[in-house]
Amino acid sequence: MSSLNSTSSVHLRPQLRHFINGEFVASAKTFRNISPVDGKHIADVCEADANNVDAAVKAAQAALHGPWGRMAVSERAAMLHKIADGIQARFDEFVAAEVADTGRPVHQARTLDVARGIANFRTFADLAKTANTDLFQSESADGLGALNYTVRKPLGVVGIISPWNLPLLLFTWKVAPALACGNTVVAKPSEESPSSATLLAEVIRDAGVPPGVFNLIHGFGGNSAGEFLTRHPDIDAITFTGESKTGSTIMKAVADGMKEVSFELGGKNAAVVFADADFDAAVAGVMRSSFTNSGQVCLCSERVYVERSIFDRFVAAMKEKTQALKIGYPAEDNVDMGPLISHGHRDKVLSYYRLAVEEGATVVAGGGIPTFNDERDDGAYVQPTIWTGLPDDARCVTEEIFGPVCHIAPFDREDEVIGRINDSDYGLTCAIWTSDLKRAHRVAPQIEAGLVWVNTWYLRDLRTPFGGVKQSGLGREGGRYSLDFYSEVTNICIKL
Ligand SMILES: NC(=O)c1ccc[n+]([C@@H]2O[C@H](COP(=O)([O-])OP(=O)(O)OC[C@H]3O[C@@H](n4cnc5c(N)ncnc54)[C@H](O)[C@@H]3O)[C@@H](O)[C@H]2O)c1
Ligand SMILES: O=C/C=C/C=C(\O)C(=O)O
């Protein structure tokens, strides 16, 4: 088979180990890492037990009181830039790691996943250097006044738990600011995507970050590495990205210890297309927001509302483009979509494909599994799918599916569609397509979501707040919001 068509052409490590106190550590229990492209076994991954997690937390605690804890911000920032340099220097290896675990198109791994891994470290290195604190000149009863100022300090040992859908991007979205603020970390990537985090541990070690500052543990959630981490008494905070129900479980796990949490959770995001929108731009935008990364992005729009006068035309245009999407190997030229992350996740998505028909959907495009007549038939591929005709309260219109699928519904009035968009347990993002500037500024603030895009989707400025409302998250990260979460502040009042 040509290297174009297989991930096996990339040299992959036979065993992925934990990284604890500056050393790679194996554990007796391992699990298999399976390629979603062809179902082949690509590596064995060590599964951390409670002792591994305890060793990692202890190493992180000790490192707080070593050279790292005494390091000036500028020195810490320089170290984060060295990590970014290290990822840059091994760019192709990181691309191969992401592609091996997820089967995503190589061009996406290059332009999004690994590029953002570098950007995350550089952004927070620079932000930490310019982080401001507060100073107030205060009045006092004796008229002599007082000064009130705040100092920022690290939270301490931060537990980081990340998902599989954008492995390096989301892992470093947490690791970078946590380190920039002087914390030490114990980080667990998803069991579905262990490779790039393991490579990052090598880069962090080689950048000269002191042992114990960054610790990596592999494993699952409940009754495995994830739960051992959230329940560890010496963890000072947990930052988590994943499903809303997992967030709720983690919240219970940390409640007794009153740990600080930052949650970036699920979504059932909407796109709304008004008749006055740039039609071609809206179609292209909704294609991106529906099918990027095989729909496995928390920001994807699984609900699409289109003004009635252009509804039939819009559906027809989406159908044509969806049926033209190229589904294939990661390294194929112009490939648009790869597989889902796993056979298990594919079973979940296919269960919704069946449910939609039971709920009365019209299947406009897709609805099944593509046939390749080669090894990819052993992978986790599904067809990109479009539905119409479901009621707003259908499970396929209210529950997060996290696959390459959207339901398109017509609407008649602005106030009507705002109400329908907000009638959701989630509130992560929304994309509004309109050429009417006043409408954009009128509608956007009424949307119950953390992020609203107008005439674009997933355009990111890393200084902005990122997070969701309702079941989509707790808190915000990004820019100074990350500095605020990953620091403690003490207010000091000096009597003049
Ligand atoms: N809001 C965001 O920014 C954002 C970004 C990406 C993904 N997501 C969401 O993540 C989900 C997909 O990712 P996933 O399937 O990996 O989510 P998941 O919740 O199944 O797992 C996420 C991580 O949590 C760990 N975990 C699971 N149960 C745990 C427990 N009881 N204790 C500690 N750790 C536990 C997993 O091992 C994994 O590392 C989707 O719902 C998606 O919307 C949200
Ligand atoms: O799947 C969810 C994507 C999250 C994206 C980010 O957190 C980001 O772009 O910083």
> Which alpha helices (DSSP H) does 296-400 contain, by range?
308-323, 343-358, 395-398
Q: How far apart are CA 182 and CA 71, in angstroms?
A: 8
Question: pLDDT, tens digit, for every residue of 258-267?
Answer: 999 999 999 9
Q: Which of 170, 244, 476 is the best mutation target for the ligand 2 pocket, counting ligand atoms within 8 Å of the beta carbon and taking the most?
A: 170
Give yes or no for residue 276 having a pLDDT over 50.
Answer: yes
Q: Which amino acid, 340?
A: L
User: Quick one: pLDDT at residue 4?
Assistant: 37
ipTM: 0.97
CA of 189 to the centre of ligand 1 (A): 10
Give yes or no for residue 3 having a pLDDT over 60.
Answer: no
Q: Give the active site residues.
A: 264
Tokens of 90: 């091994």
Q: Which of 162, 262, 268, 299 is the best mutation target for the ligand 2 pocket, counting ligand atoms within 8 Å of the beta carbon and taking the most?
A: 299
Tokens of 311: 């509804």
CA of 183 to the centre of ligand 1 (A): 23
Work out the average pLDDT over 186-203: 98
Question: pLDDT, tens digit, for every residue of 348-384?
Answer: 999 999 999 999 999 999 999 999 999 999 999 999 9
Considering every ligand atom shown, identify the ligand nearest to the alpha carbon of residue 460 and give its number: 2
Tokens of 454: 């107008």
SS3 116: helix
Q: Chain centroid to CA 320: how far?
A: 30
CA neighbor of 318 nearest in space, from 418, 440, 405, 428:
405
Q: Is 160 exposed, middle or buried (0-12, 13-18, 19+ CB in 10 A)?
A: buried
Q: Is 31 exposed, middle or buried (0-12, 13-18, 19+ CB in 10 A)?
A: middle
Percent of the chain with pLDDT strictly greater than 90: 97
Q: Is 272 exposed, middle or buried (0-12, 13-18, 19+ CB in 10 A)?
A: buried
Work out the average pLDDT over 394-423: 98
User: Quick one: pLDDT at residue 341?
Assistant: 98
User: Quick one: pLDDT at residue 10?
Assistant: 44
Max intra-chain CA distance, the chain: 86
CA of 169 to the centre of ligand 1 (A): 14
The CATH number of 2-265+472-495 is which of 3.30.420.40, 3.50.90.10, 3.40.50.2300, 3.40.605.10?
3.40.605.10
Decide if 242 contacts 163 (C-beta within 8 A): yes
Decide if 240 contacts 246 (C-beta within 8 A): yes
What residue segments make up the domains of the chain, in order of their start?
Answer: 2-265+472-495, 269-461
| Residue 319 CB neighbour total at 10 angstroms | 16
Q: Identify the DSSP state of 349.
A: H
Q: How far apart are CA 53 and CA 229, in angstroms?
A: 6
User: Quick one: pLDDT at residue 235?
Assistant: 98
Q: How far is CA 25 from CA 20, 21, 153, 158, in A?
A: 7, 9, 30, 20
Percent of the chain with pLDDT strictly greater than 70: 97
Q: Whose CA is nearest to atom 2 of ligand 2?
A: 298
CATH architecture of the domain with residue range 269-461:
3-Layer(aba) Sandwich (3.40)
Task: Give buried/exposed letters for 113-151 (b at 16+ CB in 10 A, else e).
Answer: bbbbbbbbbbbbbebbeebeeeeeeeeeeeeeeeeeebe
> Which alpha helices (DSSP H) does 260-386 contain, by range?
279-291, 308-323, 343-358
CA neighbor of 314 nearest in space, from 367, 363, 274, 268:
274
CB-based contacts of 51, cutoff 8 Å, min separation 6: none
Work out the average pLDDT over 60-65: 98
CA neighbor of 271 nearest in space, from 243, 296, 307:
307
Decide if 337 contacts 105 (C-beta within 8 A): yes
| C-beta of 160 in contact with ligand 1 (< 6 A) | no
User: Quick one: pLDDT at residue 14?
Assistant: 82
The DSSP secondary structure of 113-147, one letter per residue, reads IIHHHHHHHHHHHHHHHT----EEEE--TTSS-EE
Tokens of 322: 């969806």
Assign 3-class secondary structure to 255-305: HCCCCEEEEECCCCEEEEECCCCCHHHHHHHHHHHHHHHHHCCCCCEEEEE
The ligand 1 atom at the shortest distance from the C-alpha of residue 220 is 37
| C-beta of 267 in contact with ligand 1 (< 6 A) | yes
Give yes or no for residue 9 having a pLDDT over 90.
Answer: no
Decide if 180 contacts 486 (C-beta within 8 A): yes
Percent helix, percent strand, percent coil in the chain, to nearest 5:
40, 20, 35
Tokens of 400: 């997060």
Give yes or no for residue 1 having a pLDDT over 70.
Answer: no
Residue 327, beta-bridge partner list: 337
Q: Which amino acid, 29?
A: K
Considering every ligand atom shown, identify the ligand nearest to the alpha carbon of residue 164 and give its number: 1
Q: How far apart are CA 451 and CA 113, in angstroms?
A: 20
Mean pLDDT of the chain: 96
Q: Which of 98, 173, 400 is the best mutation target for the ligand 2 pocket, counting ligand atoms within 8 Å of the beta carbon and taking the most?
A: 173
Q: Whose CA is nearest to atom 10 of ligand 1?
A: 242
Work out the average pLDDT over 463-480: 98
Residue 13 binned pLDDT confidence (cut-offs 50, 70, 90):
low
Question: pLDDT, tens digit, for every residue of 77-94?
Answer: 999 999 999 999 999 999
CB-based contacts of 413, cutoff 8 Å, min separation 6: none
CA of 108 to the centre of ligand 1 (A): 21
CA of 320 to the centre of ligand 1 (A): 33
Give yes or no for residue 400 having a pLDDT over 80.
Answer: yes
Give yes or no for residue 47 having a pLDDT over 50.
Answer: yes
Residue 318 binned pLDDT confidence (cut-offs 50, 70, 90):
very high
| C-beta of 297 in contact with ligand 2 (< 6 A) | yes
User: Quick one: pLDDT at residue 26?
Assistant: 97
The ligand 2 atom at the shortest distance from the C-alpha of residue 166 is 1
The ligand 2 atom at the shortest distance from the C-alpha of residue 460 is 9
Work out the average pLDDT over 211-238: 98
Phi, psi angles (nearest 5°) of residue 164: -100, -10
Q: Whose CA is nearest to atom 4 of ligand 2?
A: 298
